[in-house]
Amino acid sequence: MTHDRIRSLDTTHRGSVATDDPCYVVGVDIGGTNLRLALADGNGAIEARWACSTAGLRDAEVVVQLIKQGVEHLLAQHPAANQSLRAIAAGAPGITDVEAGIVIATSYLMGWRDVPLRAMLEEAFDIPAVVDNDVNLAALGESWAGAAKDAGDFVFLAIGTGIGAGIMLNGQLFRGASWAAGEIGYMLISGVPDVSAKRGEPGALESMSGGEGIRAQWQNHFRPESNAPADDLTATQIFDRALDGDPPAQALLQQTAVALSRAIYNIALVLNCPLFVLGGSVGMHPALIDATRAALATLNMRTPPRLLHSVLGVDAQLIGAIRLALLTAAVSGRPPIL
């Protein structure tokens, strides 16, 4: 796939027009805990969904086999798509070379290194395939059909187990010279440990504002000593407690929000970016966005960015994958749909 073809995948066409020739695509979201698929028509409308667990799964071949099972299931549900499947796009939880179609590295959870996922998918399905980083796809989804429609420049912040950013500049995904733009979990902001983390371990910012980091902070610094050791809350459970007025949980929420606001501030200084969209299971928590907005307001910014929740929620990556698949179908020489 040429560089020009990749660039053309990011064109700013916002709509899509189905021709008489039917067109379907599959979007795939490969997560650390779940694999989710959707079949969509040429307008991006989802016709059918399929999902399964990926907990403990590390083998890319097995993941592709699961995707194959899922696609067969989707086509069985929607036989009209059988002869009209034009492209498949998959988001992977790691740094992904979109041009080469290779997942360079995922986090310790899956442990992928240099997996030629695009070739594996093209072999499995004999249709054009494309792969990208999942947070990039979430940004693409929000830009196409979510909180960032018509936003030329914005940053999608995915806060789940860790924290990562998808960056859209001038209406195009900005992926960086070696496909690692937005890997902000390691950011060295004031108030976090000033030693950079080893690769594969939670980074400095992540250790304060990512789901696993928040959980560890609770265990090690915030949980009342009188509580049982088994009081192992998740980040969202801790934030629920904060909303209920629990002081230690509120203190940890505040620490998380201050760290996140400083990361947003630093990114906004570099990019002068007017919009940040918070997504991911932790990022979607209502307590976090309110506390982060309040923390941002205490910083002196010439043009403070807006902070919005993801509109697509857990579907952001999947819808971004559908969008990328539609763009891929449009440039693949099959009947154009855009």
The residues binding a copy of itself (CB under 8 A) are 95, 105, 152-153, 165, 167, 169, 174-184, 186-194, 196-199, 204, 262, 265-267, 269-274, 298-300, 302-303
**Would you say 2 or 178 has its CB closer to a copy of itself?**
178
Shortest distance (Å) from residue 48 CB to a copy of itself: 36
**Would you say 176 or 286 has its CB closer to a copy of itself?**
176
Shortest distance (Å) from residue 21 CB to a copy of itself: 34
Reported for 57-66, long-range contacts at CB under 8 A and 24+ positions apart, including other chains, are 57/110, 58/110, 58/111, 58/112, 60/103, 60/112, 60/115, 60/117, 60/120, 61/120, 63/30, 63/35, 64/117, 64/120, 64/121, 64/124, 66/35
Eight-state DSSP code of residue 107: -
Look at the block and give the residue holding tokens 């699961």. 66
Strand order of the sheet with strand 163-169? Answer: 172-174, 163-169, 154-159, 275-279, 306-309
Rounded Cα distance between 335 and 72, Å, is 23
**Contact call for residues 35 and 51 (beta carbons, < 8 A):** yes
**Would you say 304 or 335 has its CB closer to a copy of itself?**
304
Shortest distance (Å) from residue 274 CB to a copy of itself: 5
**Would you say 176 or 224 has its CB closer to a copy of itself?**
176
Shortest distance (Å) from residue 287 CB to a copy of itself: 22
**Would you say 141 or 185 has its CB closer to a copy of itself?**
185
Pick from 95, 109, 274: nearest CA to 175: 95
**Would you say 12 or 300 has its CB closer to a copy of itself?**
300
Contacts of 14 (CB under 8 A, 6+ apart): 144, 149, 150
Task: Tell the burial category of 245 from Cβ atoms under 10 Å away from its Cβ (0-12, 13-18, 19+).
Answer: exposed
The sign of the torsion formed by the CA atoms of 30, 91, 215, 246 equals negative
The tokens describing 226, both together, are: 């009188």
Shortest distance (Å) from residue 70 CB to a copy of itself: 31
If phi > 0 it is left, if psi is from -120 to 50 it is alpha, else beta; for residue 280 that is left
Eight-state DSSP code of residue 14: -
**Would you say 266 or 281 has its CB closer to a copy of itself?**
266
Shortest distance (Å) from residue 137 CB to a copy of itself: 17
Report how far apart, in Å, the C-alpha atoms of 63 and of each of 15, 100, 240 are: 31, 19, 34
**Would you say 177 or 230 has its CB closer to a copy of itself?**
177
Shortest distance (Å) from residue 199 CB to a copy of itself: 6
Rounded Cα distance between 104 and 27, Å, is 20
Stretch (H or E) spanning 269: helix 247-271
Shortest distance (Å) from residue 190 CB to a copy of itself: 4
Shortest distance (Å) from residue 253 CB to a copy of itself: 18
**Would you say 62 or 269 has its CB closer to a copy of itself?**
269
The sign of the torsion formed by the CA atoms of 117, 128, 10, 66 equals negative
